[in-house]
A and B are shown apart, each in its own frame.
Chain A
Amino acid sequence: MITNKKNTLFRKLNILTVIIAIILLYLIDSDIVGNQYIKRILNLCAIYTIVSVSMNLVNGFTGLFSLGQAGFMAIGAYTVAIFTVPVELRESIFYVVPQNPVLSQIQIPFFPALLIGGLLAALVAILIGMPVLRLKSDYLAIATLGFSEIIRIIFTNIKTITNGALGINRIPAIPSLELDNFNISFGPMWSIFGIAALSVLLISLLVNSSYGRAFKAIREDDIAAQAMGISPFKHKVMSFAIGAFFAGIGGGLLASLLGTVDPKQFYFTMTYNFLLIIVLGGMGSISGTVIASFIVTAGLELLRFFDEPLTLFGVNIPIFRAGLRMVIYSILLMVLVLFFRNGLLGQKELSWNAIIGWFKNKMPSHKKSEGGAL
């Protein structure tokens, strides 16, 4: 059987990819390959993957145009920040307004705090979602954007809990996992990539489950979905809450990676980054989102070149100065929206079949095979 043979080959290729990824992760995490800068960018890519995939679940698969991702990230980030900072440091961080006496005595290890952050974000999403998810397309967008701003404004104002506009710094880094018996330690990168892989796996399992099919039915036509016995409201709230949960987790990881949080970070323009990622990857494609997260996050770093002054043959090129990077970034976003509306993968997923088909098409010696296009 040809298909069977093909399937075993693909399975082997899958395992091979995972093994290569783990080896790369090991090499980079233990500083054999690359440096701190690359490590940091890769960590950021992984965190952006978590948040973007969760946003794609809501926007791409369920068809809810939600722009609240930054707000949910803020909830996760602040939960981690508030609970993981060592108690003895609290007084010096909250030097203007002292922290709430009850909170200032509580310290929770990183992983439970991260989980609590995600759950809190999901809880808030359910509370917000119940009223707001009755709205349609653009109204929903502006209402979710509004809530994300309200969350941010509340965080700026409850100084005894969040330290207001000053933010919280000296957040401990993600702890390494030690295996004493084997004398191996897994650095923060393992945790971040592990959580990212787990999130992507969970969301793709969800999308392919009966719930996922219900989400897609609602995306295509929620009245028809309702006629088929799917409760749009229940599924919309569910998708929204799960999306918020993972955004919260992403926010928590980000807080720990950067070591500092403040309300300005979670300005709603942050959500635009994730929007760009899911548009680039393809609304409704998980593998596309993962690829796009890495391209966009790493690309933003590479574009930093444009912010530096440039001298060519002794002549200073005046257009290269701070801010050019973001201009180019936003022009790229516009080009993408105007000319490549389906993104990299549209609603398809990356598969070995598609990759092989794509290579076959590119090879000049082969005749263009039918249906092999990506």
Chain B
Amino acid sequence: MTFEIFLQQLANGISVGSLYALIAIGYTMVYGILRLINFAHGDIFMMAAYFMIFSMVNFSLPWYVSTVIVIAATILLGVVIEKVAYKPLRDASRMSIMISAIGVSFLLQNLATYLFTGVPKGFPDIPFLTKAISFGNVSLSMVTVVTPIITIILLFVVLFITNKTKIGMAMRAVSKDFETAKLMGININNVISSTFVIGSGLAAIGAILWGSKYAAVMPVMGVMPGLKCFIAAVLGGIGNTTGAVIGGFILGMAEIMLVSFIPPLTGYRDAIAFVILIIVLLIKPTGLLGEKVTDKV
């Protein structure tokens, strides 16, 4: 392998990793507050990609207008899902609420298959993102370069919201202790909705970048990234935003490096995330940056 190819793969790994990071933030925030693996998150991401196709191809809106519409529509979808499928189950057992999440994920996939058919659809071309640029002998598409930058900026935005604003303070309080936060007069439903707003918004941005990178959209496209991003969130320490981003980067790099250094193992690309998950859960279940929690009887 030449040095150029190595650099190319490195850039690729960083960009895949930062896409994972964007989606992982949504998982980690929801888990931090509701203690729920939002199985539907990957499918919200998939719906966002379809929204983008609709907006740009069917309504021929320019990409910057579409981006805003898609983010808004995805946020709406995320909040509606929370209100319809998770809110009524707030007092139910964790198994029930998780089954509900699986149900939503299943429903979104089937709905997408029904509405848009299972045949992959081409993602509309955003000239700004798909144009190629080269550094010396290394040629990259713009999206590869832009993705990590956007991710880092958004990470700081999310950190600012959670650490410096009032709603962020409420989020932290709720994730520390749900019941006490409620007693202190925090409006739990608003807090939960705002985590879904942030998570779905990031998923929408992730979907636009993902679509520009891989150019094909299909109903099951959210499943694997969804699972992997949850794993990234666990790896980084669930409930921790910075951890989720670090986890995403590690996972993306691990995948791309496996494929580029050991080509015979390419078929196992999707398995590596699960292997990492199981190792993390066995060695350090709290993840890299997670806090230690003890079980109370």
Physical interaction between A and B? yes
Residue A150 interfacial (CB < 8 Å)? yes
Residue B104 interfacial (CB < 8 Å)? yes
Q: Give, as a whole number of angstroms, the nearest-CB distance from A330 to chain B.
A: 4
B residues less than 8 Å from A131 (CB atoms): 278, 282
Is the pair B285, A139 in contact by a Cβ cutoff of 8 Å?
yes
Is the pair A337, B114 in contact by a Cβ cutoff of 8 Å?
no
A residues less than 8 Å from B96 (CB atoms): 337, 341
Q: Which 9 A-B pairs have the closest CB atoms?
A: A323-B114, A146-B274, A330-B107, A326-B110, A157-B267, A153-B271, A334-B103, A330-B106, A337-B100
Most chain B CB neighbours (cut-off 10 Å) among A139, A223, A338: A338
How far is it, in angstroms, between the C-alpha of A132 and the C-alpha of B114 when the chains are bound?
37
Is the pair B94, A326 in contact by a Cβ cutoff of 8 Å?
no
User: Residue-by-residue, is A134-176 near B (CB-CB < 8 Å gives 1, otherwise 0)?
Assistant: 1111110111011101100110110000000000000000000
Is the pair B37, A138 in contact by a Cβ cutoff of 8 Å?
yes
A interface with B by C-beta (< 8 Å): 59, 65, 131-132, 134-139, 141-143, 145-147, 149-150, 153-154, 156-157, 223-224, 269, 272, 275, 279, 283, 321-324, 326-327, 329-331, 333-334, 337-338, 341
Residue B88 interfacial (CB < 8 Å)? yes
The total of Cβ contacts below 8 Å across the A-B interface reads 112
- Interface size (B, Cβ < 8 Å)? 43
Which of A145, A154, A224 sits near B227, CB closer than 8 Å?
A145
Is the pair B278, A137 in contact by a Cβ cutoff of 8 Å?
no
Question: A142-B277, A269-B106, A323-B115 provided; 15 other pairs, C-beta below 8 A?
Answer: A134-B282, A137-B95, A138-B37, A142-B231, A150-B271, A150-B274, A153-B267, A223-B295, A223-B297, A283-B95, A322-B114, A323-B113, A327-B107, A330-B107, A330-B111
A-B contacts, 16 of them at CB < 8 A, read A131-B282, A138-B94, A142-B230, A142-B234, A146-B231, A149-B274, A156-B267, A272-B106, A322-B117, A326-B110, A327-B114, A334-B100, A334-B104, A334-B107, A338-B85, A341-B96
Is the pair A331, B107 in contact by a Cβ cutoff of 8 Å?
yes
Is the pair B277, A143 in contact by a Cβ cutoff of 8 Å?
yes
How far is it, in angstroms, between the C-alpha of A65 and the C-alpha of B109 when the chains are bound?
23
How far is it, in angstroms, between the C-alpha of A330 and the C-alpha of B114 when the chains are bound?
12
B residues less than 8 Å from A65 (CB atoms): 95, 98
How far is it, in angstroms, between the C-alpha of A141 and the C-alpha of B227 when the chains are bound?
12
How far is it, in angstroms, between the C-alpha of A338 and the C-alpha of B99 when the chains are bound?
10
Residue B179 interfacial (CB < 8 Å)? no
A residues less than 8 Å from B275 (CB atoms): 150
Is the pair A139, B110 in contact by a Cβ cutoff of 8 Å?
no
Q: Given the known A-B contacts A223-B297, A327-B111, are A337 and B103 also in contact in the complex, defined by CB atoms under 8 Å?
A: yes
Q: Which residue of A lies closest to B95 (CB)?
A: A65
B interface with A by C-beta (< 8 Å): 35-37, 85, 88-89, 92, 94-96, 98-100, 102-104, 106-107, 109-111, 113-115, 117, 227, 230-231, 234, 267-268, 270-271, 273-275, 277-278, 281-282, 285, 295, 297
Q: Give, as a whole number of angstroms, the nearest-CB distance from A366 to chain B.
A: 34
Which of B102, B111, B278 sits near A272, CB closer than 8 Å?
B102
How far is it, in angstroms, between the C-alpha of A34 and the C-alpha of B227 when the chains are bound?
44
Is the pair B106, A143 in contact by a Cβ cutoff of 8 Å?
no
Is the pair A149, B107 in contact by a Cβ cutoff of 8 Å?
no
How far is it, in angstroms, between the C-alpha of A67 and the C-alpha of B114 when the chains are bound?
26
Q: Which residue of B lies closest to A342 (CB)?
A: B96
Q: Give, as a whole number of angstroms, the nearest-CB distance from A312 to chain B.
A: 20
Q: Give, as a whole number of angstroms, the nearest-CB distance from B34 to chain A.
A: 11
A residues less than 8 Å from B99 (CB atoms): 275, 279, 337
How far is it, in angstroms, between the C-alpha of A32 and the C-alpha of B277 when the chains are bound?
54
How far is it, in angstroms, between the C-alpha of A136 and the C-alpha of B98 when the chains are bound?
13
Is the pair A333, B106 in contact by a Cβ cutoff of 8 Å?
yes
Q: Give, as a whole number of angstroms, the nearest-CB distance from A321 to chain B.
A: 8
How far is it, in angstroms, between the C-alpha of A214 and the C-alpha of B230 when the chains are bound?
33
B residues less than 8 Å from A338 (CB atoms): 85, 88-89, 100
How far is it, in angstroms, between the C-alpha of A138 and the C-alpha of B98 when the chains are bound?
8
How far is it, in angstroms, between the C-alpha of A136 and the C-alpha of B110 when the chains are bound?
30
Q: Give, as a whole number of angstroms, the nearest-CB distance from A318 to chain B.
A: 12
Is the pair B114, A326 in contact by a Cβ cutoff of 8 Å?
yes
Q: Give, as a whole number of angstroms, the nearest-CB distance from A132 to chain B.
A: 7
How far is it, in angstroms, between the C-alpha of A146 and the C-alpha of B115 when the chains are bound?
29
A residues less than 8 Å from B36 (CB atoms): 138
Most chain A CB neighbours (cut-off 10 Å) among B36, B37, B99, B114: B99
Most chain B CB neighbours (cut-off 10 Å) among A135, A136, A143, A146: A146
Is the pair A146, B107 in contact by a Cβ cutoff of 8 Å?
no
A residues less than 8 Å from B92 (CB atoms): 341
Q: Give, as a whole number of angstroms, the nearest-CB distance from A177 to chain B.
A: 39
A residues less than 8 Å from B271 (CB atoms): 149-150, 153-154
A residues less than 8 Å from B295 (CB atoms): 136, 223
Q: Give, as a whole number of angstroms, the nearest-CB distance from A60 to chain B.
A: 10
A residues less than 8 Å from B285 (CB atoms): 135, 139
Q: Give, as a whole number of angstroms, the nearest-CB distance from B230 to chain A.
A: 6
How far is it, in angstroms, between the C-alpha of A321 and the C-alpha of B113 when the chains are bound?
11
